[in-house]
Amino acid sequence: AIARDDLFVHYTLESARLGNRPMVERRLADLRGCFADEAAFEAALRQGNPLLYSVSSVEPAAGDGQLHYGLGILQPGKIGAEYYLTKGHLHAHRPAAEIYVGLAGEGAMLLEDEATGESRLVPLRTHSVVYVPGHTAHRTVNTGAAPLVYLGIYPSNAGHDYAPVAKNNFRHVVIERDGKPMLVPREKK
């Protein structure tokens, strides 16, 4: 049977930690290559190596039909005009979809269809749910001034494949323009 502390898990929005599960922390230096403005990235890194996001996960059981979930907290900030973001990934099991539930703060999901390259920017905020289809690279961005807290729920066999995004990044970037988030094509290097 599934352990009792995997049946009921408490979290707070402050720590955004699921029970006592370990938190995976991603700092600025871990995001090398993700931001469009490399000079702004190196300049920010010379000032320090802040925590950008952390995720704690609950994995009650593996196998057909089972679910895993993770609680993420993404800090507000920008590198150049580009909002703080997660690395982003495809699921190793490509058909695996995911549900994101916004719990606090204001942000968005950048979705990119692996087959067509079509990009979409979908708001992620309190009292909203985002459906991430299978075969879709997904990245979370914080477009607000407060931490963005969200829950991601996915099939236990989804897995993470970071390699395609690490190699090609996303085709679009989410930047602030006139105080508002905007999706623009990434400039070719």
Instruction: Answer with the entry of ligand PAN, Zn ion, none that 34 interacts with (C-beta below 5 to 8 A by kind).
Output: none
Per CB under 5 A, residues contacting Zn ion are 98
Best CA proximity match to 85, nearest among 53, 50, 61, 45: 53
Interface segment toward ligand PAN; rule CB under 6 A; list 12-20, 141-149, 154-162, 179-187 = 154-162
Q: Would the CA dihedral through 86, 150, 185, 178 be positive or negative?
A: negative
> How far apart are CB 73 and Zn ion at their closest, in Å?
16
Cα-flanking dihedrals φ and ψ of residue 129, to 5°? -125, 135
Name 139's bridge partners. Answer: 110
Choice between 1 and 132, CB closer to ligand PAN: 132
The bridge status of strand 129-132 relative to strand 51-58 is unpaired
> How far apart are CB 97 and ligand PAN at their closest, in Å?
10
Taking a C-beta distance cutoff of 8 angstroms, is the pair 79, 33 a contact? no
Binding of ligand PAN by 102 (CB under 6 A)? no
Q: What is d(CA 101, CA 128) in angstroms, rounded to the nearest whole number?
A: 6
Choice between 34 and 44, CB closer to ligand PAN: 34
> How far apart are CB 47 and Zn ion at their closest, in Å?
30
Binding of ligand PAN by 89 (CB under 6 A)? yes
Taking a C-beta distance cutoff of 8 angstroms, is the pair 126, 107 a contact? no
Choice between 41 and 53, CB closer to Zn ion: 53
CB atoms within 10 A of CB 119: 18
Binding of ligand PAN by 105 (CB under 6 A)? no
Binding of ligand PAN by 112 (CB under 6 A)? no
Of 142, 154, 155, 172, the one binding ligand PAN (CB under 6 A) is 154
Q: What is d(CA 123, CA 20) in angstroms, rounded to the nearest whole number?
A: 29
Binding of ligand PAN by 21 (CB under 6 A)? no
Cα-flanking dihedrals φ and ψ of residue 30, to 5°? -70, -15
Binding site for ligand PAN (CB under 6 A): 55, 70, 72, 86-89, 98, 138, 140, 152, 154, 158, 160
